[in-house]
Structure 1
Amino acid sequence: MASRLVVQTNEGLVRGRDEGAVLRWRSIPYAAPPAGEFRWRAPMPVTPWSGVRDATEFGNASPQPRWGAALGPGNFQQVGEDCLSLNVVTPAQPSATPRPVVVFIHGGGYIFGTSALALYSGVRLAERGDAVFVSMNYRLGPLGYLDLSSLATPGRPIDSNLGLRDQVAALEWVQRNIAAFGGDPGNVTIFGESAGGNAVTSLMVTPAAQGLFHRAIAQSSPAHWAHDSEDSARWARSFVDILGATPDTAIRAIERATPKELGKAMIALYRSVANEIPGHFPLEPVIDGDFFPQWPIAAFDEGNAHKVPLIIGANRRESSLFARIPDALPTTEERIEAMFAATDPKVRDRVVAAYPGYPGKSAARAIGSDVTFWHPSVEVAQAHSQHAPTYMYRYDFAPRLVSGIGLGATHGMEMMAVFGYGDTGVGRSMTALGGRREMRRVTHAMQDNWLTFARRGRPLSSWPAYTTGDRATMIFDAPPRVEFDPYSQRRRAWEGYERYHRRGGTSPGEPAIRA
């Protein structure tokens, strides 16, 4: 068994650990540490090592607020710029044929998160699906998602879309190395939730990701997240101002600042932008005309996304969680009206009419949920379904305790089912007032569909493909069911709504629409 734990990768030997039903390798580097001269640069190749590298413990998470790297009460993961690593889990039982590969991209608003979170272990997916599970860390916050390329000089180049480039580099590692772990590099499924869901839809329209994956699952993706180079340059200037630098000292400031100092400046900028344009954040992919060349929804509309099978969907009550977080989403009348301020008043009136009770709390939160997660997912589904098999879902299930505290099927709730977390101590506590049997049923339904999709490119036969004719949508509840064109009135109300730009971008000299 010991020999099976030592695997030869292109970069060197790595030793994992035997955990009984699975074998696990942690924090294998897929790119060089992005620090020093490599800070603000695209990921660079790993320097090969000699001997056997220990891969039994987690290394650094990306720099982020301390609370973001919390793995449990009083348990925090170390953070550092040397964070570009990934983890692999395989069933311990050997397989005569290569296994499908599922690659998970964690969420956290591109501010926080780590693949070391126990929820993301992937053990149950690897076991149940006879699959190879991979998860990754990538640069977060200003080091990964604040575009400072407008500050570049001939002597100090700065690259755009660093976190997205990291994800591409991790997928390139999978293509080079996953066969050594028993995985099939020709059958790779990427999946992610929230910002990780946005990473999935962004990778689908990133030319450099072509051929690196073969199916995609986007859970609660704010698929419209992106901003233009003009906004990026404006926010870059604000960021260095917050750091106390001038245009002449900007490069020195961003090179010398500690990750903690960069993070504090980022939070100040984040709050300013979120208040100026509710629901819009400076930490998003940037349309740079090169690596990420086109507005994502426009790319799907025009058939420029990678034509791979896609599952996409959102949760029924996404924003009940964010309603408790100030400045997060447009979930109040004040923020919703600011969001609509630059749109055609007829569009605003049509949308709010589709949410009876507005401006009451429940209706306002539903608008914030739909404009951020559900409506963009519908836009992607109806566009992508013209070019590749597409399947849409809505997650409705919540245990009695979770519903009782006012959350319901809120943001991230489906992760308990996807990762089979209901039978853990945390999961059982959530079903203490009832719903454990239903939770198990929903878990099996989601896992079986996710894993069947990863293996064959389509979910179970009970889930029909999405088309603009019938808009079949799997509702994950107890029991699961298929509905056709759910929320049809809301869907039609949002037609014609543009977020922060006209579809396809703005003309030269034309101001972007601020919606």
Structure 2
Amino acid sequence: MTSQPQAAGVRGTPAFVPAEPSTPAGTGARVVVRTSGGPVAGERVGAVTVFRGVPYARAPLGELRFASPRPPLPWHGVRPALRFTDVSFQSAVPNRPVPPSSEDSLYANVWTPDPQGARPVLVYIHGGGWQAGAGSLPVYDGARPAERGDLVVVTFNYRLGVLGFGLHEDLADPETGHFANWGLQDQRALLHWVHANAAAFGGDPGNITVCGTSAGGASAWQLALLPELRGLIRRIVSISPSHVTPPATALTPDDARTAYEAVARRLGTTVAGLRDVPAAALTGAWEEIFAAPPGRRIVGSGRWYRGPVLDGRTMPGYDHLLPTPDVPVLSVHTSTEGSFYTGPGSPQPAPAPRDEAELRRAVRSVLRLAEPDAGDDLADACLSAYRTAARDGNLPADALSLWTEIWGDALFRHQIVRFSERHARHGRTALYAMEFAHPARAPHFGTPHEATSPFLFGTHRLPRLADVFGRGRTEHLLSDLLIDSVAAFARTSRPSSPDLPDWPAFTPEAPSTLVLGGPATAEVVHTPKLAQLGFWDAVGWTPRL
């Protein structure tokens, strides 16, 4: 393991996702609908109509860089919506080719069975650690859930990295006063656009479910907490979120100010002058600020990745300190979240620990992301707790398995389970819990973080994804069950399918977590691997119950 495992949480978009388009453009009958900006022409592809690259906000270029999103400029005539646009500006990462990226990226993609009608709308927020990814990646092709679930499915891009998530008062928008979290502002603007335009695509503007994975799952939760969006968001599907908390997964406001000022000095300008420097130079200087190991950086927070910064407006508080969302929740995680980062497709490949000393160093480096003084004593305590849990639960206890469990629990599963328990005890709406457990194929192992997306979108059949997850009868069934569950939840606030067992709302004391995948295909059980989460409670990991 390297000395800076922060990159393991940075890249929430799977390394195995191909970058080439999954559906050829320009092959179907044209379908025209009228949006708030003007008419757009999509095309009929099989059982759905798809509209690609529909602007939901003006291009954030020039003086609009670091500005709040503005409504798109109206156009005359019919605008083609046949091709995906460039993804939001981002840098290349290991194991994942980046398609052409641009600051002109604030576009939505819509799949609908029929522009007539009033179907539930599913808005999907892509992951990528707030620094990578795009709504147009082939894994997120919305055709299958739109058709099978009878849904209007929307994906989109939002600003990323230094252009999307940070804070500095010198970047204040003269019209709105906002000076932080431009990507989160984009997400909010997209939801207002969907509400205004859903009916044009055959959707019900009063029935919008926000869904997302990884950074997108955390964003769905955050958006549901914004007073401005109460009543607009009907329910959320939060999949494998890593909630924003410093020092590991967010910059503090002071550290964000320091980082932007340091970037400006490197580039020979002021913070306000960052609007005028080339995007590549700006992104490169930002990444240099965080290239050193966490203990040698100029700031102490943002060690794992840089998500939304607490600003009192776009992010009024950290999730664990705010009330739980007042909407129904479907909470999903995978059985081994950490195997995304310890498998061969890891965004930052690192050799697995081979002996006790290497394992201790690996665990200590993970602990130090939140506990800078963590030493061998704490690492040994962590390993002891996990070995005991593995023995009692008849689970593997080799070095790779232990490291994978510790990594996945630290970043994802501990907080997902604890947030579910918190909602069950204090929330006013139902929360349903799912663990997705379909194993990846060797040399991958376990059920990695982001393994849900190919099944939610039915894109596990794409060649490069099928190599990891399979494309047989079992995979087809699991995809159908996941789509059915989400579609039923978007329609009734209760996930269900005739082919699933009775699935009650989550309660910590009773069998109430649906395990989808694995030997039983689908069964309702007590929360799996609960004992090993106790270690994180003991060392003060958030959220605390």
* TM-score, normalising length: structure 2: 0.80
Query: Contact conserved, 1:168 with 1:208, CA < 8 A, in 2?
Result: no
Whichever residue aligns with residue 320 of structure 2, its letter is I
Q: Which residue of 2 aligns with 1:437?
A: 473
2:60 to 19, 34, 41: 34
2:457 to 419, 424, 435: 419
> Matched residues in 1 for 2:469 and 2:310: separation?
44
Offset at residue 13 of structure 1 (A): 1.1
1:338 aligns with 2:364: no
Closer, same or farther in 2 for the Cα pair 1:206/1:280, shift >3 Å? Answer: farther
Instruction: Tell me the SS of whatever aligns to 2:330.
Output: strand
1:394 aligns with 2:424: no
1:493 aligns with 2:535: yes
Query: Contact conserved, 1:316 with 1:410, CA < 8 A, in 2?
Result: yes
Q: Which residue of 2 aligns with 1:508?
A: none
> Matched residues in 2 for 1:137 and 1:156: separation?
22
> Matched residues in 1 for 2:256 and 2:361: separation?
24
TM alignment of 1:190-229, pairs within 5 A: 190-225=210-245
Offset at residue 146 of structure 1 (A): 2.5
TM alignment of 1:67-466, pairs within 5 A: 77-92=99-114, 97-149=117-169, 159-225=179-245, 231-242=252-263, 244-245=265-266, 249-251=269-271, 253-272=273-292, 274=294, 280-281=303-304, 283-299=306-322, 304-323=323-342, 324-326=346-348, 332-339=362-369, 340-342=371-373, 351-356=382-387, 360-385=399-424, 386-387=426-427, 388-399=429-440, 402=441, 404-430=442-468, 436-460=472-496, 462-466=502-506
Instruction: Describe the superposition over 1:469-499 as per-residue Cα deviations: whole angstroms up to 9, x where unpaired.
Output: 2262111114121111322212333325444
Closer, same or farther in 2 for the Cα pair 1:31/1:494, shift >3 Å? Answer: same
> Matched residues in 2 for 1:417 and 1:409: separation?
12
> Matched residues in 2 for 1:286 and 1:488: separation?
31
> Matched residues in 2 for 1:466 and 1:89: separation?
31
Instruction: Describe the superposition over 1:410-433 as per-residue Cα deviations: whole angstroms up to 9, x where unpaired.
Output: 12112221111233333444466x
Whichever residue aligns with residue 253 of structure 2, its letter is S
1:482 to 524, 530, 534: 524
Stretches of structure 2 lacking an aligned partner (at least 5 in a row):
1-27, 351-359, 389-396
Which is further off, 80-89 or 251-260? 251-260
Whichever residue aligns with residue 454 of structure 1, its letter is A
> Matched residues in 1 for 2:95 and 2:365: separation?
29
Which is further off, 384-393 or 348-357? 348-357
Instruction: Describe the superposition over 1:101-151 as per-residue Cα deviations: whole angstroms up to 9, x where unpaired.
Output: 111111111111111111111100000011111001100010001223366
Instruction: Tell me the SS of whatever aligns to 2:422.
Output: helix
Offset at residue 381 of structure 1 (A): 0.8
Whichever residue aligns with residue 39 of structure 2, its letter is L
Instruction: Tell me the SS of whatever aligns to 1:495.
Output: helix
Instruction: Describe the superposition over 1:150-187 as per-residue Cα deviations: whole angstroms up to 9, x where unpaired.
Output: 66598996611111111010000011011111101111
Query: Contact conserved, 1:226 with 1:296, CA < 8 A, in 2?
Result: no
RMSD: 3.4
Instruction: Describe the superposition over 1:70-89 as per-residue Cα deviations: whole angstroms up to 9, x where unpaired.
Output: 77xxxx63322111110111
Number of positions where the alignment pairs a residue of Structure 1 with one of Structure 2: 486
Closer, same or farther in 2 for the Cα pair 1:36/1:30, shift >3 Å? Answer: same
> Matched residues in 1 for 2:539 and 2:81: separation?
48
Same amino acid, percent of matched pairs: 30
> Matched residues in 1 for 2:69 and 2:293: separation?
28
Query: Contact conserved, 2:112 with 2:151, CA < 8 A, in 1?
Result: yes
> Matched residues in 1 for 2:289 and 2:324: separation?
31
Instruction: Tell me the SS of whatever aligns to 1:285.
Output: coil
Offset at residue 274 of structure 1 (A): 4.7
> Matched residues in 1 for 2:361 and 2:75: separation?
51
> Matched residues in 2 for 1:418 and 1:395: separation?
11
* TM-score, normalising length: structure 1: 0.84
Q: Which residue of 1 aligns with 2:394?
A: none
Query: Contact conserved, 1:140 with 1:163, CA < 8 A, in 2?
Result: yes
> Matched residues in 2 for 1:40 and 1:9: separation?
26
Query: Contact conserved, 1:239 with 1:265, CA < 8 A, in 2?
Result: no
Flag the structure with more relative contact order, 1 or 2, with Cα contacts below 8 A and sequence separation at least 6: 2
Query: Contact conserved, 2:145 with 2:483, CA < 8 A, in 1?
Result: yes
Offset at residue 453 of structure 1 (A): 0.8
Closer, same or farther in 2 for the Cα pair 1:335/1:30, shift >3 Å? Answer: same
Offset at residue 375 of structure 1 (A): 0.8
> Matched residues in 2 for 1:321 and 1:485: separation?
21
Closer, same or farther in 2 for the Cα pair 1:370/1:90, shift >3 Å? Answer: same
Query: Contact conserved, 1:229 with 1:288, CA < 8 A, in 2?
Result: no
Query: Contact conserved, 2:329 with 2:432, CA < 8 A, in 1?
Result: yes
Whichever residue aligns with residue 474 of structure 2, its letter is E
> Matched residues in 2 for 1:155 and 1:213: separation?
26
